[in-house]
Structure 1
Amino acid sequence: MIDRPQPYVGSARLPVPAGLGRGFVLASVFVCAACGLVYELELVAVASSLVGDSVTQASVVLSVMVFAMGVGSLLAKRLRCHAAAGFGYVEALLALVGGGSAMALYASFAWLGGARVVLVLTSFTIGALIGAEMPLLMTLIQRIRAQDPGGAVADLFAADYVGALVGGLTFPFLLLPLAGELTSGLLTGVVNALAGGLVVQWLFRHDLRGRARYRLLAANGCVLSLLLVGTAFVGPFEEAARRAVYGDDVRVAVHTAQQELVLTGGATRAEWPAAGELRLFQDGRLALRGRQARAVHRGLVRPAMEGGPRDRVLIVGGGDGLAVREVLRFRGVREVTVVERDPGVVRLARRDPGLRALNRGALDDPRVGVVNADPFDWLRERVRSDAARFDVMISALPAPEGSAGPKLYSQEFYGLAARALADEGRLAVRAGAPGGRARDFWTVDATLRAAGLRPCPYGAGRRFLLARPAKPAPPTCLGERRTRVPPSTLMHPRYAE
């Protein structure tokens, strides 16, 4: 591979002492690294909410960006002779692409029908620009004061890694809760453009001659203007994209700390013919449909409630109140505990007239207690404290395909559920449909068995599993063959939806 001649490394004319100049460069490395990681996490978060399967989206973003960083490092070799101008243009373009990446994904998903291609292209572009930063910064810091290359690299990477730590913690705990995904990206782009522009336009301004300085200044000004204007139009953009995805009957849209909740259609049955059937979407996934909601939850709850004692009932998920409504229809229920991770779902189910009409205000019943916590952690702490056991457990979670909480379908979770059940307790689980995604259904079945429970499939249309604590199997004679009972024979028509 033929490399270009080494750039001239001379002492740069700085407006401050050399030591302070190096400090400014390292500070810019810190800020740019923080912004780069925010872009990365933002891409993963937006892609997971739009497409689902967070593991796949994170793998795609990380692998493409790391590969692109290597490509960007090679391409940056051609810019070393003009390191200051090159770094300025790289940061301006990175701020524009990274800051607008979330809006680009939303626009592609809403109006083009998919976001995978845009996700890969955006990840590659951001990765290439991030990879181009380090060679240029290495050249700039050596121009301030020549030093051992190993020491210079150590300083740069130290600032880079610390900045990545700060960016990684700032995004989920500060930016996302306070500003949301789209505004967070745009504001991060503004910070990125200011950090890069300040280093070049002030610290290395003598390296820019004549028109080059004004062209770079104009580029930074255009980028900052576009990002700031974008923050002013985030609201109308989200509304237009939401209507393109869900239709014109969007009635409520709420961003919680965990997800986006969207209600479409009329609030009452009388409004459904004209305004559309009531539907609840959680991060773009249909979670509830008005005409089917009661039948689905009745099919899930009734077999477990009719199978024995039902004094104490635990509902995992179920913040919409529909499973609670079905549970309260049975006599003898003294206590119902609802463990819902997202308090926004419970708040919406209590206040929205459409959801409240479906659940009939079940969440306000004095026998019902709502706990806003992660169900896995809450159940583990309860088992450790040896608290009273439950007669019935209802897992009112979405079917395992595309589920946002895979650990709630794990052997560990079902093992905790088995320990929290009374001797005659029952656990009802929504497991999907054998005719649709058979692998998901039978994976849940096998996981329940591995956790010491005896599952039995039931339901028509949708498929559920009713599990009880396993009892020791009677000994079999030598040579006796065990035959597998076909699942269809276990589905009682009484529990058909």
Structure 2
Amino acid sequence: MKIPILLLSFVLAFLSLLYELLIAQTMGFLTANAAAWYGITIGVFIGSMGIGAACVGVFPYQRDARGSLAVVESLLAFIGGAAVLLLYQAHALALFLEGNEQVALGKLVFFFSGIVTAAAVGLLTGFEVPILLEMGRSDPARRISAEKVLAADYIGALTAGCLFPLVLLPHLGLLRIGAGAAVVTGFVALGLAQRSKEEDRPLFLTVGFLLLAAFSLIFVLGSRIETAQAKGYYFSGSASWTPQAGSVSLGSGRVHRDRSPYQVIDRVDFPGGQDPDLAEMVRSYLLRPDQQHALSGWGLFLNGDFQFSADTEALYHEVFAHVPLAASGLSPRRVLVLGGGDGLLVRELLKVPSVEEVVLVDIDPVVVSLFRKDPVLRALNRDALGDPRVRVIVGDAYDFVRRNHEKYDAVYLDFPAPSDYDQSKLYSQEFYTFLKDRLGPQGVVALGVPGLFPVNDEAWGGREMSLWSDYAAPLRAGGFVRLVPFFSRLEEDNAQALAVMRRLYKGAEGMVRRDVSPDGREVRAVEIRGEENVAREMLKEHVRKMTAGFILAVPDDRVLPLEEGRLRTEGLDVLDQRRFLLSLKAGEGFDEGAGRVNSVFRPVIAGKEGVLEIRSPY
């Protein structure tokens, strides 16, 4: 009897913590502030455990400890196993309500669902140890001490905490982990039910078998159901799955999901294109009509966050690669790219005649493999990762810069937004200090800056809404003397683009533009009337959608050519000399960037999104 109770304590703690980690991971994935909600969810769980332990008397567990524990485990299997499904459905409903201007109700539905689910799992978990102790006391001759039961409980929790991120999550995914845990919990409930009081046994066994059947089916169909959830995340309307493994169809739309130890990688094929109006407008900006490719209509998302669209990525990557070189007058031979495992930035750098070697360092081997081997993705990056001038290193960028002692003429940082504290180290003073030592005598650094936008455009909210100081302060603290912001920017007087807008918005009587106030707390409605004015305003809006921020960082006070620099346009699809000048002009008006310095030891750049903000893919 002694060993089974200790083993039971270990198994139940293992399963309970798995459920809580599932809820925390899902909340972190579906909220804008992942760091905050991961912590909040764990806190709610632990607090509810205490409440559960205090309120365990609601069960007459002294009369039938095994029957009481069977009830607890059945409830836990149902709630914990279905938690991921429930939270995804609540998130989809919240996005639907937000789209119908019921933002507050949408947030209430989603966050209430998350907190209640975490609290319910914690409450039920709190019931377990007192009931286990009662089971141990039921045989006075072989009484088990509370210390040993608690020790087994803690070891089970430790095991779950280690296996969840290292083994289970990369190989199974959230939904199948939850279903698998529910199946094991169901078996435990059945075993307890068989030794419960005879009058309760038939009900317990029936419920246990139903739970086993339901969650076994979810486990088997887990990958398809999970992809259907992704379909609901990216598309409006109902999702339906087709027999092809790993893909879900809605018309011509498809989600292709891959998973790595670091992130979920979704390639989303949008019916008619992700933003057909924007895609058509972008085509009107192409330098030559024959430059259109057949890869339009799909986008890449990492952990649910938009990375790029095949329709619009050319402007972003051309500006990122070529503007820093023209503005600094640099003709690099050796280039280091940190991040950017898709090879699109590398594609652009290989167009520079002076480049002899590009070293690409990316932490995710799955992303690199996809863009090396998938025919569609290779066509997009023009097989850049297979070029003999490119050396690919799979590893952590921070560790590489800290340990590597080679010198480079230019370094490009192509990282995602710092949404958690681990990513924030790539925007830290320490990282930039190491990076400065990797530069050659005339070397420069160019980095993509998520959330940076021009301060001279009222629709963006002005200087106070820009994240300039968050990025500039650690760069300066890391030893970079001169910082030049620039943006991917298109002209708003393009005749062809305006003709597209006139056709798309023909007959429009008016519209309302919503400008953000400088403090970010208010939205000012600006009414636009007349068909021509609507067309011009929508062109401006689409140009804003294409605007992304970058920083050219120089470690000394050398004189840069900037606007006098000459852009090499050979092989470029969108960027020309005029747009090069626009990209620099859009960066005017920024101050010196005084602000709090993001550090590895004091991360301040991550988690700046509001706690009550729901993540959307765009």
Q: TM-score range by the shorter chain?
A: 0.7 to 0.9
Cα deviation per residue 1:50-83 (whole Å; 9 max; x = unaligned)?
3243311211111111111122112212323332
Distance 1:125 1:403, change over 3 A: same
SS in 2 for 1:291: coil
Looking at structure 1, the residues matched to 295 and 68 of structure 2 have their Cα atoms a distance apart, in angstroms, of 55
Structure 2 residue 159 is the aligned partner of structure 1 residue 139: no
Counterpart code for 1:42:
L
Q: Does the 8 Å contact 1:268/1:357 carry over to 2?
A: no
Structure 2 residue 201 is the aligned partner of structure 1 residue 223: no
The number of equivalent residue pairs is 447
Distance 1:265 1:29, change over 3 A: same
Counterpart code for 2:356:
R
Q: Does the 8 Å contact 1:339/1:371 carry over to 2?
A: yes
SS in 1 for 2:145: helix
SS in 1 for 2:354: coil
1:264 positional shift: 2.4
Q: Which residue of 1 aligns with 2:346?
A: 324
TM-score (norm 1): 0.83
Cα deviation per residue 1:381-416 (whole Å; 9 max; x = unaligned)?
21xxxx221111111113446797222112221121
Instruction: Give 1:8-407 correspondences, 5 Å limit.
Output: 21-79=1-59, 80-82=61-63, 83-113=65-95, 115-145=110-140, 152-198=145-191, 200-201=192-193, 205=195, 208-247=196-235, 248=250, 249-265=253-269, 277-306=297-326, 307=328, 308-382=330-404, 387-400=405-418, 405-407=423-425
Distance 1:363 1:267, change over 3 A: farther
Q: Does the 8 Å contact 1:265/1:275 carry over to 2?
A: no
Counterpart code for 1:417:
L
Percent pairwise identity: 29
Q: Does the 8 Å contact 2:485/2:549 carry over to 1?
A: yes
Looking at structure 1, the residues matched to 94 and 417 of structure 2 have their Cα atoms a distance apart, in angstroms, of 27
Structure 2 residue 469 is the aligned partner of structure 1 residue 451: no
Cα deviation per residue 1:196-216 (whole Å; 9 max; x = unaligned)?
442x245xx2xx333212222
SS in 1 for 2:360: strand
Gaps of 5+ in 1: 1-20, 473-490
Looking at structure 2, the residues matched to 171 and 50 of structure 1 have their Cα atoms a distance apart, in angstroms, of 19
Distance 1:179 1:158, change over 3 A: same
1:194 positional shift: 2.0
Looking at structure 2, the residues matched to 241 and 441 of structure 1 have their Cα atoms a distance apart, in angstroms, of 36
Distance 1:105 1:293, change over 3 A: same
Looking at structure 1, the residues matched to 387 and 421 of structure 2 have their Cα atoms a distance apart, in angstroms, of 29
SS in 2 for 1:369: strand
1:261 positional shift: 1.6
Looking at structure 1, the residues matched to 370 and 272 of structure 2 have their Cα atoms a distance apart, in angstroms, of 15
1:305 positional shift: 2.7
Cα deviation per residue 1:169-215 (whole Å; 9 max; x = unaligned)?
221222223322211111112222323442x245xx2xx33321222
1:93 positional shift: 1.0
SS in 2 for 1:224: helix
1:343 positional shift: 1.6
Q: Does the 8 Å contact 1:197/1:220 carry over to 2?
A: yes
Cα deviation per residue 1:208-246 (whole Å; 9 max; x = unaligned)?
333212222222222212211221332332232222222
1:265 positional shift: 3.0
SS in 2 for 1:329: coil
Looking at structure 1, the residues matched to 215 and 113 of structure 2 have their Cα atoms a distance apart, in angstroms, of 19
Q: Does the 8 Å contact 2:335/2:409 carry over to 1?
A: yes
Looking at structure 2, the residues matched to 317 and 448 of structure 1 have their Cα atoms a distance apart, in angstroms, of 18
Structure 2 residue 469 is the aligned partner of structure 1 residue 442: yes
Looking at structure 2, the residues matched to 214 and 265 of structure 1 have their Cα atoms a distance apart, in angstroms, of 50
Q: Which residue of 2 aligns with 1:493?
A: 582
Q: Does the 8 Å contact 2:67/2:197 carry over to 1?
A: no
Superposed CA RMSD: 2.8
Gaps of 5+ in 2: 96-105, 236-249, 281-293, 490-546, 559-579, 587-618
Q: Which residue of 2 aligns with 1:483?
A: none
Looking at structure 1, the residues matched to 323 and 336 of structure 2 have their Cα atoms a distance apart, in angstroms, of 15
| Segment of structure 1 superposing worse, 59-68 or 432-441 | 432-441
Cα deviation per residue 1:87-117 (whole Å; 9 max; x = unaligned)?
1100111122112212222232235536433
Cα deviation per residue 1:36-63 (whole Å; 9 max; x = unaligned)?
1211222222222332433112111111
Looking at structure 2, the residues matched to 124 and 267 of structure 1 have their Cα atoms a distance apart, in angstroms, of 40
Structure 2 residue 462 is the aligned partner of structure 1 residue 462: no
1:257 positional shift: 2.4
Looking at structure 2, the residues matched to 262 and 357 of structure 1 have their Cα atoms a distance apart, in angstroms, of 18
Counterpart code for 2:153:
D
SS in 2 for 1:464: strand
Q: Which residue of 1 aligns with 2:240?
A: none
Cα deviation per residue 1:447-471 (whole Å; 9 max; x = unaligned)?
1011111322122432211111146
Cα deviation per residue 1:268-320 (whole Å; 9 max; x = unaligned)?
99x98899622111111110112321111122222333322411111111111
Looking at structure 1, the residues matched to 214 and 269 of structure 2 have their Cα atoms a distance apart, in angstroms, of 35
Cα deviation per residue 1:455-493 (whole Å; 9 max; x = unaligned)?
221224322111111469xxxxxxxxxxxxxxxxxx953
Distance 1:84 1:401, change over 3 A: closer
Looking at structure 2, the residues matched to 229 and 265 of structure 1 have their Cα atoms a distance apart, in angstroms, of 28
SS in 2 for 1:100: helix
Q: Does the 8 Å contact 1:341/1:373 carry over to 2?
A: yes
Distance 1:401 1:176, change over 3 A: closer
Counterpart code for 2:262:
Q
SS in 2 for 1:394: strand
1:348 positional shift: 2.1
Looking at structure 1, the residues matched to 442 and 474 of structure 2 have their Cα atoms a distance apart, in angstroms, of 20
Q: Which has the higher helix share?
A: 1
| Segment of structure 1 superposing worse, 168-177 or 109-118 | 109-118
